[in-house]
Structure 1
Amino acid sequence: MPLFFVIFFTVYTALNSYVFIRGWQVIGNYPILKIIYLLIFIIVAYGYVFAKILYKILPPLLYDIWLGAGAIWFALLVYFILTLLLIDIIRFIDSKFIFLPELFRSGDSNVKRYTAVAVIFIVSVIVFLGNLNKRNIDVRTLELMLPKGQGKLNELNIVMASDIHLSPIDGERLLKRIIDKMNSLNPDIILLAGDIVDDKAEILEARGIGKSFKLLKPRYGVYSINGNHEFINGVESSVRYGESLGIKFIRDSFILIDSSFYLIGREDSAMPQFTGKQRKNLEEIVKNISNHYPRILLDHTPFKLEQAVNNNIDLQLSGHTHHGQIWPANIITNIIYEVSWGYKKKGNTHFYVSSGAGTWGPPVRIGSRSEIVNIKIKFVEN
């Protein structure tokens, strides 16, 4: 992990430097403004990191504001970079083919200022619209037929969500909207595919974030697995926090629900990085499971889908990818993952990778949508 953070901060600092320098050039010869600009830029650009590091000594309100400002900056940074790169590309092409008015090549300070104002306005509008977009939580419906085996159920109404990422940034208001939508679907069982939290349990508990989970009363209960953010924020305390809200965690184990289907839960693949321990192989988890009942698997990160196929999993539910969350990151997730978002059938195994109900970092979605998944299963005779 130390190497990861070194690489992350090196790249992050380089990207911020690119944006900072362009702003510095616009200010001109105003020493006081340059000092103010430098201080504000550092405070905002590294606000998310500073808040996480100093959370024990910061007043709650200051922590929440600094965290939120730093998170929004992540989205602003992406589109500042894309916009400035586009400007640089246009200027480079113009240097070869001369198509822009002479005014844009003159170095006039007013042109720089007007351009800076235009860039700030455009980026701010994009991020604002992205914030509005993330507030709309879609309900995706998936109808599947699974082998009944010796199970006694003919139908099962599953409501699934992943990547809620509870923190003071979105907090209880987001969760209440998610819970209300879940309850409106009259689920028999609710399955959470990891990353419930995006902050430490003590911070969430102190602010009363999570209490809406107690409003869920599905017939068979609420089950979850750990995602990478449960490990990032302290897996044992995150699990205790979830359990206090009525959520049952399945950790490299399984449970037989109503003598009708197995629910299998894996620890996230990030487990070794944070605990030094390896998660169990799927083969090891299912080796004592009867072949006479359908198998539903929760695995947060949708890597190595063939493992589910090879172990006779009927349905695997995952999250983690957010479908990129902010364009053009979805291009990257489409390259990395066999399924970045949505449904796929491979062999006899059905897969669904959710784009997530919440957001990580900036409360912004551009080129993706927040969702809850309603999976209506009919169990059929083999």
Structure 2
Amino acid sequence: MLLLLIIPVYLILNLYILHRVHKWLTACSALFHSRWFIVPYITIYSLLAFSLLFAFLLPASRPQALIKRLSNYWLGTFLYILLCIGIADLLRLILKHTHGILHAFFFCRTGYILAGMLLTLVVMAVSFYGIIHSNHLYVTPYEITLDKSCPGHKQLKIVLAADLHLGYNVGEKQIRQMVDAVNEQDADLVLFAGDIFDNEYEAVQNPEKLAQLLSEIRSTYGSWAVFGNHDVSERLLGGFSVGSGTHNLRDPRFENFLEKAGIQLLDDQVCSIDDAFYLVGRKDAQKPGDGTRNRKSPEELLSGLDHSRPVFVLEHQPRQLKELEKAGADLQLCGHTHDGQLFPGNLTVKLFWENPCGYLQKGRLHSIVTSGVGVWGPAMRVGTDGEICVVTVKFEGDETTQY
């Protein structure tokens, strides 16, 4: 289990931070050598470090929710404390074998104190920026052209949203902002590409109000959704699954919520809309929500369709681009990646996904991946934006075009 590997690493890294911060503080003043400081310092730091565990172990309640939110802020701050101290120690290691002004500065007491103060300011500034920025929502436009006809339409405007993660980090304020942004687009179709929830239905703040807000979304052909890997009933520790993840079941309240919100669920299903185009919704590749990892293949879903009509595929994770293109899909719309959410994740995410975020064309298939509306784990965004995507699909085929 991945979690069993992560826990000892997390503990070791926290001990490393405790040691390095205390060493810097004692360089600043001899007062920090006192046990009257050391004991409270270790206690407060330990409470922050273990807030993830406390939030996991406590039963659902108002105190548990507050601790969970605190742990989400801590997780992002912890990342940047570790990153800054790690870079500083690496620089010191390099400069240790050099001579000159930089060596003299970094290895004298004054330089050491000033460097620590600078790192403290950087961590605080980045963390506050990340928290504030995570509440901003942007509109990202895309335009694609298909060599197909769509009866009754020269073009379609699709709004794509994903990764709402309704729960501890996302509530009424963010959803109202999103609904207003969606309605400004005058869309033909509104699609939600999974991770609507954050695993725990109990974490959703005022679900009746949220469903009512989502029901206010306006579009020609309504709102449609698929579920993602977080749309299963599961307790997370620091954002990570504690169980094997192979037998996770979907909470029936998730589907009831969508019904109240006027959002139609596509669960490995195909819908012909207005006899003009197809909308295909796929189960999540990791956690379909039925206790298995089974879902239909692109060929199973798309065979038998009239491929002279546009075929839009909605799924959570941007997988199987080659298979979808071969099966005849024209447009794949996904979320999941968050574009890495936090620097340097926005750089490393490119190593794991063919299309980590944005637009990619693979043969005849157009792939669009959104960075999402909400956040997972750390309640921050650094180097990425929360967004909805507005995809204008133009049609240049004629009624006789066949595929």
Length-normalised TM-score, structure 1: 0.90
Contact 1:201 1:241 in 2 (8 A): no
The correspondence for 1:30, drawn from 34, 50, 53, is 34
Specify the code of the residue in structure 1 equivalent to 2:160. M
Specify the SS of the correspondent of 1:97: coil
Specify the code of the residue in structure 2 equivalent to 1:88. D
**Following the alignment from structure 1 to structure 2, what is the Cα–Cα distance between the partners of residues 262 and 355?**
24
List per-residue Cα deviations over 1:142-194 (Å, max 9, x = no partner).
Answer: 12222445744332211111112222323111111111000011111100111
**Following the alignment from structure 2 to structure 1, what is the Cα–Cα distance between the partners of residues 87 and 346?**
19
Return 133-142 or 322-331, whichever deviates more: 133-142
Return 90-99 or 179-188, whichever deviates more: 90-99
Contact 1:226 1:235 in 2 (8 A): no
**Following the alignment from structure 2 to structure 1, what is the Cα–Cα distance between the partners of residues 250 and 113?**
48
The correspondence for 1:329, drawn from 320, 341, 345, is 345
Gap change, CA 1:41 and 1:174, over 3 Å in 2: same
List per-residue Cα deviations over 1:320-359 (Å, max 9, x = no partner).
Answer: 1111111111221111111111111111111101111221
**Following the alignment from structure 2 to structure 1, what is the Cα–Cα distance between the partners of residues 99 and 20?**
23
The correspondence for 2:356, drawn from 332, 340, 365, is 340
Specify the code of the residue in structure 2 equivalent to 1:218. S
> Is structure 2 residue 44 aligned with structure 1 residue 46?
no
Specify the code of the residue in structure 2 equivalent to 1:358. G
Return 228-237 or 372-381, whichever deviates more: 228-237
Contact 2:317 2:334 in 1 (8 A): yes
> Is structure 2 residue 13 aligned with structure 1 residue 9?
no
Specify the code of the residue in structure 2 equivalent to 1:235. R
Return 192-201 or 270-279, whichever deviates more: 270-279
Measured after TM superposition, the shift of residue 226 of structure 1 is 0.9
1:76-87 map, 5 Å: 76-87=77-88
Measured after TM superposition, the shift of residue 284 of structure 1 is 1.6
Return 325-334 or 9-18, whichever deviates more: 9-18
Q: Gapped runs of 5+ residues in structure 2?
A: 27-31, 235-248
Length, aligned pairs only: 375
**Following the alignment from structure 2 to structure 1, what is the Cα–Cα distance between the partners of residues 49 and 209?**
26
**Following the alignment from structure 2 to structure 1, what is the Cα–Cα distance between the partners of residues 147 and 168?**
43
**Following the alignment from structure 1 to structure 2, what is the Cα–Cα distance between the partners of residues 117 and 209?**
45
**Following the alignment from structure 2 to structure 1, what is the Cα–Cα distance between the partners of residues 290 and 84?**
36
**Following the alignment from structure 1 to structure 2, what is the Cα–Cα distance between the partners of residues 304 and 140?**
24
The correspondence for 1:366, drawn from 379, 382, 397, is 382
Contact 1:231 1:270 in 2 (8 A): no
**Following the alignment from structure 1 to structure 2, what is the Cα–Cα distance between the partners of residues 12 and 238?**
32
Q: Once superposed, what is the RMSD of the aligned Cα atoms?
A: 2.4
Aligned to 2:220: 219
Specify the code of the residue in structure 2 equivalent to 1:105. F
Measured after TM superposition, the shift of residue 208 of structure 1 is 5.0
> Is structure 2 residue 292 aligned with structure 1 residue 290?
no
Gap change, CA 1:273 and 1:226, over 3 Å in 2: closer
- Larger % of helix: which? 1
**Following the alignment from structure 1 to structure 2, what is the Cα–Cα distance between the partners of residues 145 and 102?**
61
Contact 2:171 2:205 in 1 (8 A): no
List per-residue Cα deviations over 1:85-121 (Å, max 9, x = no partner).
Answer: 1211221122211334657535x5x876655443222
**Following the alignment from structure 1 to structure 2, what is the Cα–Cα distance between the partners of residues 357 and 202?**
20
> Is structure 2 residue 250 aligned with structure 1 residue 235?
yes
**Following the alignment from structure 1 to structure 2, what is the Cα–Cα distance between the partners of residues 308 and 65?**
43
Contact 1:195 1:230 in 2 (8 A): yes
> Is structure 2 residue 181 aligned with structure 1 residue 181?
yes
Aligned to 2:279: 263
Contact 2:285 2:293 in 1 (8 A): no
Percent identity, please.
Answer: 28
Measured after TM superposition, the shift of residue 269 of structure 1 is 1.3
**Following the alignment from structure 2 to structure 1, what is the Cα–Cα distance between the partners of residues 50 and 207?**
23
**Following the alignment from structure 1 to structure 2, what is the Cα–Cα distance between the partners of residues 340 and 64?**
31
Return 366-375 or 146-155, whichever deviates more: 146-155
Specify the code of the residue in structure 2 equivalent to 1:164. L
Specify the SS of the correspondent of 1:142: strand
Gap change, CA 1:203 and 1:90, over 3 Å in 2: closer
**Following the alignment from structure 2 to structure 1, what is the Cα–Cα distance between the partners of residues 209 and 122?**
34
Specify the code of the residue in structure 1 equivalent to 2:135. R
**Following the alignment from structure 1 to structure 2, what is the Cα–Cα distance between the partners of residues 239 and 8?**
33
Gap change, CA 1:150 and 1:371, over 3 Å in 2: closer
Gap change, CA 1:150 and 1:162, over 3 Å in 2: closer
